[in-house]
Structure 1
Amino acid sequence: MNPRGTRLLAGRSLLVLFMAATAVPFLSLFTTALAPQGSTPHGISWPSHPHWHNFVDAFNAADLLPLLYSSCLIVLGVVPICLALCAAAGYGLAVLGFPGARLVFGLLLLGLTVPIESLITPLYYQMQSLGLLNTRWALILPLIGLFMPFGVFWMRTFFQSLPKELLEAASVDGAGPWAAFRRVHLPLAAPAVSSLAILLFLWTWNQFILSIAMIDDPSKRTAAGALGAFQGHYGTNVVLLSAGALLIMLPTIAVFVVFQRHFVKALLQGAVKG
């Protein structure tokens, strides 16, 4: 086999290993969710009599309907606002080149290095001083701020990959910076915006630790955050806990499967180039 074929085989083998490492935990969780309640399955083994009603029992036991509703409200509060701010900030940093743009971008990059866990305590007292504790705004506002550094970096790198002649052509046609952004740059950035929306949705929906810290009422948390309370009540019932976890993960899996082409398209068009 020639060297190129060897590299290709090695690459495919590595991809298969990564796929197996990703799929095996989900398969184990799925087979566990179908086992008889009260049992403790080991490994991956398809039950002789799958108990599909475990998903219905987990849905009712965790009272998932209001949790899903709460997650949708939080997602609708975070994703559109964050997308608008990141697109505008990325355009300003990449295209307009205002004084101090590099300093602002450096501060945003510094924000990428700060772990969320280290910010929980100051965020808690800040939300407490604003009177927003135990409300969904106590989760929406911090998440917008926490997602801004990556979102601005994502959009800035995309706008930098576009030809500078676009802004010059727009100015020749009489369009100002705002009109050029709205009519020229933003439509071209649709793949980057859609892929960023997918990431923001996944991160918001799966938010766990900040949801528990800021909101005491489980019905106002994200579905993933409410899983902590569900685990406290049904932690010994591994089967029911696995079924509940799968139900909570189902929307994120569905969104990624449906919109994965947009995500790949953004990567191929240079959304993270440079």
Structure 2
Amino acid sequence: MSRTDHLTGRALLALFCAGVLIPFAALVLTALNPPGTPVSGLAWPKDPTLESFSQAWSVAAFGTLLANSAFVVLGVVPLALLCAVLAGFAFATMEFRGKNLVFGLLLLGLTLPYEAAVVPLYYDLQSVGLVNTPIAVVLALVGLYMPFGAFWMRQQFASLPVELREAAALDGAGDRILLWKVLVPCVRPGITTLGLLYFLWAWNQFLLTLILLQSPDKRTAPAGLAFFVGAHSTDVPMLAAATLIVVAPVVVVYLCFQRSFIAGMVSGAVKG
């Protein structure tokens, strides 16, 4: 790589970092102002305070909203990961009639507009009495995430050497041992990356939770934030504080799993 390419790459990285960090810094500085303070531009507040955070927390009942979001995430991520691992293992290692057809039909879910599934899901879940319950959101999201999860895990398992499966078969390992003891440890970065993506998608889910969860005490954090914005559209510091409260869990989880996430993405790119 030439020196010019090296400097160009660094400049682009610096530009991208600035594009992410400057708006986030502006949000933090705005939230440090007292509630109701007029804010303009990127400037350090005259009297920094956490009052906007405390008022936003109490007014919007973010304790309940965050707990509801946590329930949805803790239901979606493990169940969706389990289904994705099992489906990916079957499509990558097993031979059965109609495998390619079934996989092709599953991939059609990737082309389905997300909004097109909301109305049918609502009436299907209403018919079994699950509307306005967190279980409805969990089941709907697991189903909607299955096409991508099955495709992702199929690619992860298919990228492993065939000799690995043959050696396990010679040692007498059945499908269960082959999957959980041999293959899953080899694709752990890919599973971690998929789990983090599921967490981000489930936590930031807005439209589905807005339609399926109609009671205010059952809303998730993003849906509650939307109603909070509508009620306090002129109080910019409180809006900034409420936004930071909602995005804080996403930032913390991403920072904790950053290395595993990048390793899974790079691994998938190299293997693919």
| Shorter-chain TM-score range | over 0.9
Q: Distance in 2 between matches of 1:147 and 1:188?
A: 23
RMSD over aligned CA atoms reads: 1.6
- Deviation at residue 50 of structure 1 after TM alignment: 1.2
- Deviation at residue 272 of structure 1 after TM alignment: 7.4
The residue identity in structure 1 corresponding to 2:90 is: G
Gaps of 5+ in 2: none
Runs of 4+ with >6 A deviation? none
SS in 2 for 1:269: helix
Q: Distance in 1 between matches of 2:98 and 2:269?
A: 24
TM-score of the aligned structures, taking structure 1 as reference length? 0.94
The residue identity in structure 1 corresponding to 2:3 is: G
Aligned residues: 272
TM-score of the aligned structures, taking structure 2 as reference length? 0.95
Q: Deviations over 1:85-111 (max 9, x none)?
A: 000101111122333222222223221
- Deviation at residue 78 of structure 1 after TM alignment: 0.5
- Deviation at residue 167 of structure 1 after TM alignment: 1.1
The residue identity in structure 1 corresponding to 2:142 is: I
Gaps of 5+ in 1: none
Q: Distance in 2 between matches of 1:154 and 1:144?
A: 15
- The within-5 A match list for 1:147-226 is 147-226=145-224
Report the counterpart of residue 13 of structure 2 in structure 1.
15
Q: Distance in 2 between matches of 1:191 and 1:151?
A: 14
- The within-5 A match list for 1:20-169 is 20-169=18-167
On the 8 A contact 2:168/2:178 being kept in 1, the answer is yes
- Deviation at residue 213 of structure 1 after TM alignment: 0.9
The residue identity in structure 2 corresponding to 1:111 is: G
The residue identity in structure 2 corresponding to 1:95 is: T
SS in 2 for 1:42: coil
Structure 1 stretch 228-237 or stretch 172-181: which is displaced more?
228-237
- Percent sequence identity over aligned pairs: 46
- Deviation at residue 271 of structure 1 after TM alignment: 6.4
Report the counterpart of residue 228 of structure 1 in structure 2.
226
Q: Distance in 2 between matches of 1:61 and 1:223?
A: 13
Structure 1 stretch 243-252 or stretch 18-27: which is displaced more?
18-27
Q: Deviations over 1:9-65 (max 9, x none)?
A: 212211111111112221121111112322331221111211222111111111111
